[in-house]
Structure 1
């Protein structure tokens, strides 16, 4: 067990012949007591300071752990957000592709339908032209045949086309 300043103060030395000067020894012991008390106070202050620093260290260690956990959670959350964004982008892309395919398909169908209508109109036009040509040729043949001249000579007037013939043409 270490000595206390009180132990040093209460220490009695035996007296011997030709011993040390008592006043010098007492003064020296007094200085030792003062230094020893100062060292004890300093040691106690240092221990308190160590306790405070250890408490701060624990506090900062807790903060560091909390920050580390927060960073990990933030990283995981960021990864989740990225993954969800990728999935959503893929879904949007697939939906856009479906819509594009549908639009292209509808456009092709309309194009085919219009092409068929054009072909139908062209066929009708060709039939009409053929009928019209044949009507005109028949009329020209009638004009060239001489029936007109004979009719005009017999009746003395120009041939009038009846309404029935006009309706057929």
Structure 2
């Protein structure tokens, strides 16, 4: 395609030869002037459109940059959310494991203490039974000795005489 400017069209009118039966030179000049003016309008309009396209291209580029940044921020936020969820799950799992371990420790300690208490109670009950047996045996032995003493000295009686002053004088 040939580059043609409005100035080229204006200069062209002097390049045409005049012929006898040719076009009316004034009409050709008017037409060339109209074409030149229209070309100037089209060039200005093209420049305006190019400037608008360039502005829109810049705006589109800026929007794409923003979109890319927003997408990156969204991806980062999603990754952060996922990491936080995973961290929270790990922490919850750790707390749960620690709580279970502590509960097992407490239950184990309680069982140990209960076992010790039962054993202590059994020891005490055994000691009580032994004490009662020993005490009963001791009492029975003392009772037997008292019975024997009464049989050896029947004239003294059971000691009721000690309360009566007349009985002691005789």
TM-score grouping bracket, smaller chain normalisation: 0.7 to 0.9
Using the size of structure 2 for normalisation, the TM-score is 0.77
What's the CA shift for 1:82?
2.3
Could you tell me whether the CA contact under 8 Å between 1:148 and 1:159 is conserved in 2?
Answer: no
Residue 103 of structure 1 and its aligned partner are, at CA, apart by 0.7
Distance in 2 of aligned mates of 1:142 and 1:89: 77
Counterparts of 2:138 and 2:102, CA distance in 1: 53
Gaps of 5+ in 2: 162-170
Contact 1:8 1:33 in 2 (8 A): yes
Can you list the C-alpha shifts for 1:103-141, whole angstroms capped at 9, x where unaligned?
A: 111111110111011111111221233234334545665
Q: TM-score, normalised by structure 1?
A: 0.78
Cα distance, 1:156 vs structure 2: 5.4
Partner of 1:128: 131
Q: What are the ranges of 5 or more consecutive residues in structure 1 without an aligned counterpart?
A: 161-169
| Alignment partner, residue 98 of structure 2 | 95
1:70 aligns with 2:94: no
How far apart, in 1, do the equivalents of 2:148 and 2:131 lie?
A: 28
**How far is 1:157 from its partner?**
5.8
CA RMSD of aligned residues (A): 2.7
Q: 1:156 to 1:61 in 2, by over 3 A?
A: closer
Compared CA separation, residues 154 and 39, structure 1 to 2 (3 A) = same
